[in-house]
Amino acid sequence: MTDEIVVTGVGATTPLGGDVKSTWDAMLNGRSGVTAVPEDWPADMAVRIAARMAVEPADLLPRAQARRMDRAQQAAIVAADEAWADAGFVGTTLDNGLVPERVAVVIGTGIGGVGSLIAQHDVILERGPTKVSPMLIPMDMPNGPAAYVGLKIGARAGVFTPVSACASGAEAIAYGLDLLQLDRADLVVVGGTEALIHPLTISGFAQMRAMSTRNDDPTGASRPFDRDRDGFVIGEGAGALVLERRGDAEARGRPPYAVLAGAGITSDSHHITAPDPTGSGQQRAMRLAVSRSGLSPADVVHVNAHATSTPAGDMGEARAAAALFGEQIVVTATKSMTGHLIGAAGAVESIATVLTVRDDVVPPTINLQHPDDELCVDVPTQTRSMPVPAAICNSFGFGGHNASVLFRKA
Amino acid sequence: MPASPDEIRAGLAEILQEVADVSPEDVVDAKSFTDDLDVDSLSMVEVAMAAEEKFGVKIPDDELPKLKTVGDAVSFIQSNA
């Protein structure tokens, strides 16, 4: 079947490492990327931990280019550069014999360049409107990361930005699959990016009582499925994947990592931020991904869970996965190590899922010392080697967004 | 004492290096900001904002597009500072 959509390149910058290899090695070693926030932040902030990128993205870019970009844009460029090179490309679409009008970019983000927006708000208050940067709007606009990636590689089939909070990265992958299956592109760079670690954004999340306040134990704070979990830990970073048809990859002599076999997107229509406790929208997303892939639920042996370490969210997802796949399903929550990368989460976790499928190894869920009494699926706390013919990656977001993507062996 | 053309040129070179990574040796009067130094319209606004601060000069919006070369900017700043 030459019309299968395959992953031929991956790239990431995360709290665990500045590329896919270092991130994946850290995951397999169960390492946490969570640290304390800078000491000069307001003393009365309830949350004083976060998972910053391990490598400053600006350090990897030409200085003049980096200063025009928001941190989320820098991260997206770093991840997309790695994925592009990993897929065997050097330079632009034209340099590689690709047709620019048949190459698209879909990079999601939860909130865009909020750091730049806040910084320029300080400028207008302190120095006046004539000192506001002419770069503010391009740095702040949520479509900026996708546009910069499209500009860099020369993509003219459209650059798109799903904005669906924490589901943005996975939705981007689902839309990339659509573009290829609808024959609107021959190659799509997909992914997600986020960089919103700032006292203001953290305070906003903290006021929702959504975040962990385990400030005295940063590496133990993100503990999905543990009975003592108390909220998510904010992270930042980006992930990118190159998608194309199997026949095109073969013609280029590029071995695929995995097949992107299906995707499902649903919405809860339940509450603006709370997940539907029945998990029905989440289950429908997974079911859609399975049915679109042509597989049956029995073929799916692993779920890289959205599980953010909030009291409400984790068990609903575990129940939904158990209901669809059975209680033997092997589930992991890599957010226990990376923290929650918001709009980048679905992309980075999809890369982990792709590598799990390729290498037959499931990264652990760390900090799971006392499993929740209601935990009804198999969650390894150590790296587990096992055959993984097919796996699902879930991402759910504020707004009631549910996105599931399904990868199977190439 | 007003700045000399050489001082203005050197000051512009500092700004251009910071804003657009232009090498100081490329900042000579005949060079066009957009065609030779690859400074786009957004960066030109940043250059103008920085020059206004550095040289205590006001560059009105309708003057900025007329400053096509380094030499244009040097003369404008010298006559208006």
Instruction: Say if A63 is an interface residue toward chain B (CB within 8 Å).
Output: yes
Which residues of chain B neighbour A131 with C-beta distances below 8 Å?
49
What is the interface pTM, i.e. ipTM, of the complex?
0.89
User: Closest Cα to residue A157, out of A96, A98, A216?
Assistant: A98
So what's the pLDDT on residue A58? 97
Residue from B22, B42, B47, B53 to probe the interface with A (highest A Cβ count within 10 Å): B42
Question: What pTM, to 2 d.p., does this model score?
Answer: 0.96
Largest CA distance in chain B: 33
Indicate the average pLDDT of chain B: 94
> For A282-299, how does the pLDDT look when each residue is reduced to its tens digit (9 = 90+)?
999 999 999 999 999 999
Amino acid A63 reads: R
Q: How far is CA B75 from the centre of its chain?
A: 10
> For A245-273, how does the pLDDT look when each residue is reduced to its tens digit (9 = 90+)?
999 999 999 999 999 999 999 999 999 99
Distances from the Cα of A78 to the Cα of A117, A310, A333, B78, angstroms: 21, 30, 24, 42
Distance from CA of A133 to the nearest CA of B (A): 7
Q: Which of A302, A306, A393, A401 is catalytic?
A: A306
Which residues of chain B neighbour A67 with C-beta distances below 8 Å?
19
Instruction: Say if A62 is an interface residue toward chain B (CB within 8 Å).
Output: yes
Q: Which of A166, A302, A393, A401 is catalytic?
A: A166
**Closest CA in chain A for residue B15:** A64
- Residue A54 is given by DSSP the state S
CB within 8 Å of chain A, chain B residues 37-56: 42-43, 45-46, 49
Instruction: Say if A90 is an interface residue toward chain B (CB within 8 Å).
Output: no
Token pair listed for A125: 């208050």
Say whether A67 and B19 touch across the interface (CB within 8 A).
yes
Q: Which of A121, A271, A302, A340 is catalytic?
A: A340
Other CB atoms within a 10 A radius of the CB of residue A201 amount to 18
Which run of H or of E encompasses A403? Answer: strand A401-408
Integer Cα distance of A9 and A2 in angstroms: 18
Which residues of chain A neighbour B45 with C-beta distances below 8 Å?
134
Task: Let me know if A340 is a catalytic residue.
Answer: yes
Cα torsion at B60, B65, B66, B68 (round to 10°)?
A: 130
Distance from CA of A135 to the nearest CA of B (A): 7
Token pair listed for A405: 């993507």
Task: Let me know if A271 is a catalytic residue.
Answer: no
So what's the pLDDT on residue A1? 46
Which run of H or of E encompasses A170? Answer: helix A168-181
Confidence of residue B2 (pLDDT cuts 50, 70, 90): confident
Q: Are A189 and A119 in contact (CB under 8 A)?
A: no
> Parallel, antiparallel, or unpaired: how do β-strands A103-108 and A159-160 relate?
parallel
> For B22-59, how does the pLDDT look when each residue is reduced to its tens digit (9 = 90+)?
999 999 999 999 999 999 999 999 999 999 999 999 99
Distance from CA of B17 to the nearest CA of A (A): 8
User: Closest Cα to residue A353, out of A344, A363, A343, A365?
Assistant: A363
Distance from CA of B72 to the nearest CA of A (A): 22
Integer Cα distance of A273 and A313 in angstroms: 11
Task: Let me know if A306 is a catalytic residue.
Answer: yes
So what's the pLDDT on residue B1? 60
Residue tagged 């587990």 (tokens): A384
- Residue spans of chain A under pLDDT 70: 1-2
Helices (H), A33-143: 63-67, 71-86, 114-127, 136-140
Q: Are A44 and A276 in contact (CB under 8 A)?
A: no
Residue tagged 């499993």 (tokens): A371
* From B21, B45, B49, residue closest to A62, measured CB to CB: B21
Token pair listed for B75: 């003369």
- Residue B63 is given by DSSP the state T
